[in-house]
Structure 1
């Protein structure tokens, strides 16, 4: 690989904070035009050459497309070349910038699978994640159940991250109840809940994110295949975000309501960021295995878009408490200006209403409670009545959900103006161990304790 190619290969999480996308996405905003060729690109070229007869016989299919493109094929762009690191203090996919494509999947251990089988599964999954995140095939060989599918053969790492977590039921099924954290207690019920038990919770949880849809799906298939004989899929959901580089300047992402979403996220530069997001070290305790980890609360939130879109924009803005155009608080300033909750308009009414979502969910209104939101939007088709099954795959990270998610959601539940336009349809809480050190697999400190 040339020097230029090496420089283009950034590391996720160093150039933008979660909740942002655009030209400051996961890697430099330039195109790598060096002669360096990735292993996947070389393999893809060789495969195309070997299939020449098939292409020529297609009468202008793939060959016609390539011949009519205005430019010669370029080298891998910075988006495709960006690589996230598998090993580290924390697992990948927590503080990384939002990715364009995501898959969330939960598994239950099959009957008869014990701690030994669970450890073997996590070892396989970790090895697979490490290879895929580096842009390499999932496994060697050309046949057998473990061979790579070739789905992402021509792509680079594309900021792929794979993150693993354990649900409450995992501990009883593996004989590890002594290590069960209190923070994995069931969440309380909320009035906006319409939860489907079949699409909630699970023994194991995996979050996959990438800036290329094929790379993300490739990882999903590899994880699913790696679970065969040990765990079965309980539920699976697909999500998306804006692709990095599609805006003229770095911008916070928008959700399907058109609102800028993620402005109030804690930032890695904040003095108390680690304290809010990551579990502290607790040597000598049953939860020592969780050091450097976090808790993920996962909620599928359906947006009632037909009702929402009937509101005039100024009404939508009062529901949220921020301007739709630029995310600035209704009290004035820019997106990052601190909200003035006491400011009143000429009519004497509060500029940011008492029941505005941004007011009720702010740390200032919740005793400092905060969480790192890192969601994906989703769209699962249109119902017979014409309503879209669309919304948010809400994923938030915190050191303790009963000090992060729960107090905020309780307050939202009591009077959030947004509640009439959303419906929580599934839920799960997962303990996410710290990152694996070199030579370790994720969860090893729990499963081999």
Structure 2
């Protein structure tokens, strides 16, 4: 579950930054100084793509249930020309793409180092990837200059940054292949097996993982191609998955998105204003330990969760609501109130039965029923056409962030695995766990504190 929000205009984004505090300012800014545009119009505004307010996202729970925005955007609509101009920051305490509000388009890619490639080659690759990400996130061509695109493909020449984020992580196998096993954290131990798993090893795990997100499809693809090109000779693609969320301006007012099952999805994700947000999501400092390189980083659990939509859509609405524990029309808990009203898990109906059933997804996945275990869920939906059996190959590219997956994702998923009413309508088809280092300081590349330790 998560919070909702929308893209803002310049004044409202400034207000939003004040409300969200320093972390949002580190990860996102609006470029507004005029330069080459006519009549004082900024370069970012000239480059910005057409869009509007109301960009919202969806996130399923650990097994694919409730979801939402990682960070709140102001409720005021944005001007049509500002979507493309919005810029996320490359440098900062944390990498972008974790607390950044959900983007409309995304690509997830895992790489394996090629035979013979080791630490030296990994250092060079991370330097190249970081340089490309920094330039593209600022709306500049990859490897180019003010005078031309250099070796850039030119795919996104007409667009601004469009909230582009590029996030890098390391899989368990990366450490052995680079001679860094002494720096391997215990939290990267393999995830346990779950009864709903039907995992494809070819689409799981990987030495390196890259998450790309943007509010424009061409900007996202442009970044994908740049990352792939820079990997040549050092790493090969192991798997790639493509996703989407609601496009900015798709709703008349800011509102929580619906997932591919039609449920409003995004009401209870941890909020940056929560006192324990940093503790739950980011790895704390551990100076003098083999894992001090992870300070400010996080762990990403990545799952490709197929929704069995044909089976789900056969259920009447009232049955769907009891499976989830929330009303389909407005996302309110079955115990009453509005979308953000806390669930009354003890409330019974006239027949004496619990209004929110014992096996309802919202009940089982709630922090109250999991000893406070929580994670920041920030996924993309996907649709890859029709499967061989004629059913839709569609669902969720589930991504959750936490300081320790064995205190976040694993205990919640284990509980869901034992009796979640939603589980029969889901199939976990791919899985990965990655350590995502903290953000790069000025003059650093991502992962430098690990690779040069």
The TM-score bracket by the shorter chain reads: 0.7 to 0.9
1:36 — aligned with what?
41
Q: CA contact under 8 A between 2:359 and 2:419: conserved in structure 1?
A: yes
Q: 1:31-50 CA distances to partner (integer Å, 9 max, x unpaired)?
A: x99752527968x9xxxxxx
Instruction: Find the aligned partners of 2:38 and 2:335 in 1 and give their Cα distance.
Output: 46
Say yes or no: does 1:113 pair with 2:117.
yes
Say yes or no: does 1:377 pair with 2:378.
no
Of 322, 329, 339, the match for 2:326: 322
Query: In 2 relative to 1, CA 294–33 (structure 1 residues): closer, same or farther, beyond 3 Å?
Result: farther
After TM superposition, give the deviation of residue 248 of structure 1 in Å: 2.2
Say yes or no: does 1:180 pair with 2:188.
no
Q: CA contact under 8 A between 1:40 and 1:135: conserved in structure 2?
A: no
After TM superposition, give the deviation of residue 335 of structure 1 in Å: 1.2
After TM superposition, give the deviation of residue 139 of structure 1 in Å: 1.1
Say yes or no: does 1:195 pair with 2:199.
yes
Of 162, 169, 172, the match for 1:165: 169
1:70 — aligned with what?
none
Instruction: Find the aligned partners of 2:13 and 2:140 in 1 and give their Cα distance.
Output: 16
2:369 — aligned with what?
365
Q: CA contact under 8 A between 1:262 and 1:373: conserved in structure 2?
A: no
Q: 1:327-379 CA distances to partner (integer Å, 9 max, x unpaired)?
A: 11110111111111100011111000000000000100000000000010000
Instruction: Find the aligned partners of 2:19 and 2:311 in 1 and give their Cα distance.
Output: 34
Q: Which moved more, 1:363-372 or 1:255-264?
A: 255-264
Query: In 2 relative to 1, CA 146–424 (structure 1 residues): closer, same or farther, beyond 3 Å?
Result: farther
Q: 1:169-218 CA distances to partner (integer Å, 9 max, x unpaired)?
A: 00000000000000000000000000000000000000000000000000
Of 418, 422, 432, the match for 1:418: 422
1:3 — aligned with what?
none
After TM superposition, give the deviation of residue 264 of structure 1 in Å: 1.5
1:50 — aligned with what?
none
1:287 — aligned with what?
291
Instruction: Find the aligned partners of 1:224 and 1:241 in 2 and give their Cα distance.
Output: 23
2:151 — aligned with what?
147
Instruction: Find the aligned partners of 2:431 and 2:157 in 1 and give their Cα distance.
Output: 34
Instruction: Find the aligned partners of 1:390 and 1:12 in 2 and give their Cα distance.
Output: 37
After TM superposition, give the deviation of residue 249 of structure 1 in Å: 2.1
Instruction: Find the aligned partners of 2:108 and 2:150 in 1 and give their Cα distance.
Output: 22
1:403-414 equivalences in 2 (<5 Å) = 403-414=407-418
1:336 — aligned with what?
340
Instruction: Find the aligned partners of 2:83 and 2:306 in 1 and give their Cα distance.
Output: 30
Structure possessing the higher radius of gyration over alpha carbons = 1
2:34 — aligned with what?
none
Of 236, 254, 258, the match for 1:254: 258
Say yes or no: does 1:277 pair with 2:250.
no
1:243 — aligned with what?
247
After TM superposition, give the deviation of residue 15 of structure 1 in Å: 8.9
SS of aligned partner of 2:322: helix
Instruction: Find the aligned partners of 1:432 and 1:254 in 2 and give their Cα distance.
Output: 28
Q: TM-score, normalised by structure 2?
A: 0.84
After TM superposition, give the deviation of residue 95 of structure 1 in Å: 0.5
Of 100, 107, 110, the match for 1:103: 107
Instruction: Find the aligned partners of 2:184 and 2:15 in 1 and give their Cα distance.
Output: 31
Q: CA contact under 8 A between 2:107 and 2:240: conserved in structure 1?
A: yes
Of 378, 390, 401, the match for 2:394: 390
SS of aligned partner of 2:224: helix
1:82 — aligned with what?
86
Instruction: Find the aligned partners of 1:156 and 1:140 in 2 and give their Cα distance.
Output: 15
After TM superposition, give the deviation of residue 252 of structure 1 in Å: 2.0
After TM superposition, give the deviation of residue 253 of structure 1 in Å: 2.2
- The number of residue pairs the alignment matches comes to 403
Query: In 2 relative to 1, CA 274–12 (structure 1 residues): closer, same or farther, beyond 3 Å?
Result: farther
1:214 — aligned with what?
218
Say yes or no: does 1:445 pair with 2:436.
no
SS of aligned partner of 1:158: coil
After TM superposition, give the deviation of residue 262 of structure 1 in Å: 2.6
Query: Structure 1: where are the runs of 5+ without partners?
Result: 1-5, 18-24, 45-74
Instruction: Find the aligned partners of 1:331 and 1:397 in 2 and give their Cα distance.
Output: 29
Q: TM-score, normalised by structure 1?
A: 0.85
Of 359, 367, 377, the match for 1:355: 359
